[in-house]
């Protein structure tokens, strides 16, 4: 189909613990952490946003892949927290990596699967020979209303993927399952999203992720035990574990790609950062299933096989990057999120 030529990832340095957020709202931290399987989440610095995170991830991808950025023919940034409602993040990134001016670009929005939608588009452009390389980025500085359940998980981070003909991993197949399911949304002009609480479970996340995964395995004729790794979108640390079990995957297949417990839900970055963590350690010949989920709703599933070329690729070391962190208190967290402006 097409291949991943390179990847780059970035998670901001700052963290806030679930127990700190719970402290402010008078909730029981222990039961929240164990209920969500999330202990802390990443917080963007006051001068970071989806554009800056996208640029950092994109620059790392270009550097590691050692490609000429001028040969990138398309840049797509998927996010639900683009800095502008009108004016694409993609052009800021394209300029900052030296890909301008001969390329196409646009921003994507599909809740947490905006980045993988961009990946699918790049695959099509590469396959049709319209472009040599395409870059798809999933990045977010997710918003959550203070005091809302989502506040414990809405985090910041992003990953960039360079798609081309050949690379460090072959994308064998991709399928999507899409319906109009209003489980989570944010209205135009509103700072915070709304959601259907328990409705975001079975009819939304589980239906779409489960069906997309099954559709893919059926199309390609595979079963869970054929995969060395499985990565599912991570709105918390529990859903991906549950869907994995439901589909017949084992805990050890999903462990390496599960970042949510230590960085929270990076929304459009979630599945793509999980995949980056796996590519950081994957060996040639290993097979990866990745299924994203975007509220509204839809899932993009990918069947990936790692090639020999990964041995000479400078791995991003995302887990090491995540360990370089500084904790902030709730007031600092609010200040960094520019809630006081």
Q: Provide the annotated active-site residues.
A: 80, 112, 233
Piece in contact with another protein (CB under 8 A), picked from 40-48, 150-158, 220-228, 291-299: 40-48
Q: Is the CB of 186 or the CB of 325 nearer to another protein?
A: 325
The least CB distance from residue 233 to another protein, in Å, is 27
- Give the Cα separation of 131 and 119 in Å (integer): 13
Residue 55 binds another protein, judged by CB under 8 A: yes
The count of residues interacting with another protein (CB under 8 A) is 21
Q: Which of 2, 7, 32, 56 binds another protein (CB under 8 A)?
A: 56
Per-residue binder mask for another protein (CB under 8 A), 72-91, x = binder: -----------xx--x----
- Give the Cα separation of 244 and 199 in Å (integer): 19
Q: Is the CB of 82 or the CB of 233 nearer to another protein?
A: 82
Residue 63 binds another protein, judged by CB under 8 A: no
Q: Is the CB of 46 or the CB of 130 nearer to another protein?
A: 46
Q: Is the CB of 36 or the CB of 55 nearer to another protein?
A: 55
Q: Six-digit token pair at 107?
A: 């921003």
Residue 228 binds another protein, judged by CB under 8 A: no
The least CB distance from residue 286 to another protein, in Å, is 28
Residue 59 binds another protein, judged by CB under 8 A: yes
User: Residues 33-39: contacts with CB within 8 Å, 24+ apart?
Assistant: 35/238, 36/152, 36/153, 36/236, 36/237, 36/238, 37/236, 37/237, 37/238, 37/241, 37/260, 37/261, 38/152, 38/153, 38/236, 38/237, 38/260, 38/261, 38/264, 38/265, 39/261, 39/262
The least CB distance from residue 192 to another protein, in Å, is 17
The least CB distance from residue 300 to another protein, in Å, is 28
The least CB distance from residue 152 to another protein, in Å, is 24
Residue 140 binds another protein, judged by CB under 8 A: no
Q: Is the CB of 71 or the CB of 95 nearer to another protein?
A: 95
- 9-28: which residues touch another protein (CB under 8 A)? 13
The least CB distance from residue 123 to another protein, in Å, is 27
Positive or negative torsion for Cα 171, 317, 212, 255:
positive
Q: Which of 92, 123, 144, 212 binds another protein (CB under 8 A)?
A: 92
Cβ atoms of 159 and 122 within 8 Å: the answer is no
Q: Is the CB of 97 or the CB of 175 nearer to another protein?
A: 97
The least CB distance from residue 139 to another protein, in Å, is 12
What φ, ψ does residue 26 adopt, rounded to 5°?
65, 35
Q: What angle do CA 130, 276, 94 make, to 5 degrees?
A: 40
Piece in contact with another protein (CB under 8 A), picked from 19-27, 49-57, 115-123, 202-210: 49-57
Piece in contact with another protein (CB under 8 A), picked from 52-60, 70-78, 169-177, 197-205: 52-60
- 240-279: which residues touch another protein (CB under 8 A)? none
Provide the binding-site residues for another protein, judged by CB under 8 A: 13, 45-49, 51-52, 55-56, 59, 83-84, 87, 92, 95-96, 98, 335, 340-341
């Amino acid at each position: 189909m097409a291949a991943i030529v390179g990847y780059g990832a970035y998670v901001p340095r700052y963290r806030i613990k679930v127990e700190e957020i719970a402290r402010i709202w008078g909730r029981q931290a222990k039961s929240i952490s164990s209920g969500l399987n999330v202990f802390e989440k990443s917080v963007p610095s006051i001068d970071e946003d989806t554009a800056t995170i996208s640029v950092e991830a994109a620059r790392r991808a270009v550097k590691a892949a050692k490609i000429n950025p001028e040969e990138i023919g398309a840049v797509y940034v998927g996010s639900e927290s683009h800095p502008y409602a009108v004016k694409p993040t993609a052009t800021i990134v394209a300029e900052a990596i030296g890909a301008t001016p001969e390329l196409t670009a646009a921003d994507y929005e599909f809740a947490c699967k905006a980045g993988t939608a961009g990946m699918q588009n790049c695959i099509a452009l590469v396959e049709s020979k319209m472009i040599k390389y395409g870059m798809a980025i999933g990045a977010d500085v997710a918003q959550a209303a203070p005091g809302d359940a989502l506040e414990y998980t809405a985090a910041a981070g992003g990953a960039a993927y360079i798609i081309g003909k050949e690379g460090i991993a072959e994308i064998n197949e991709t399928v999507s399952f899409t319906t109009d399911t209003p489980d989570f949304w944010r209205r135009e002009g509103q700072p915070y999203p709304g959601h259907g609480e328990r409705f975001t479970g079975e009819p939304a996340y589980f239906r779409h992720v489960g069906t997309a995964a099954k559709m893919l395995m059926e199309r390609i004729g595979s079963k869970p035990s054929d995969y060395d790794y499985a990565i599912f979108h991570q709105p918390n640390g529990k859903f991906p574990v549950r869907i994995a079990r439901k589909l017949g995957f084992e805990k050890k297949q999903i462990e390496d790609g599960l970042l949510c417990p230590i960085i929270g839900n990076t929304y459009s970055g979630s599945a793509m950062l999980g995949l980056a963590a796996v590519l950081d350690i994957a060996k040639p010949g290993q097979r990866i299933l990745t299924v994203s989920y975007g509220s509204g709703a839809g899932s993009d599933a990918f069947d990936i096989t790692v090639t020999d070329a990964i041995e000479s690729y400078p791995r991003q070391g995302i887990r090491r990057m995540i360990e370089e962190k500084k904790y902030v208190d709730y007031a600092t967290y609010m200040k960094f999120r520019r809630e006081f402006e």
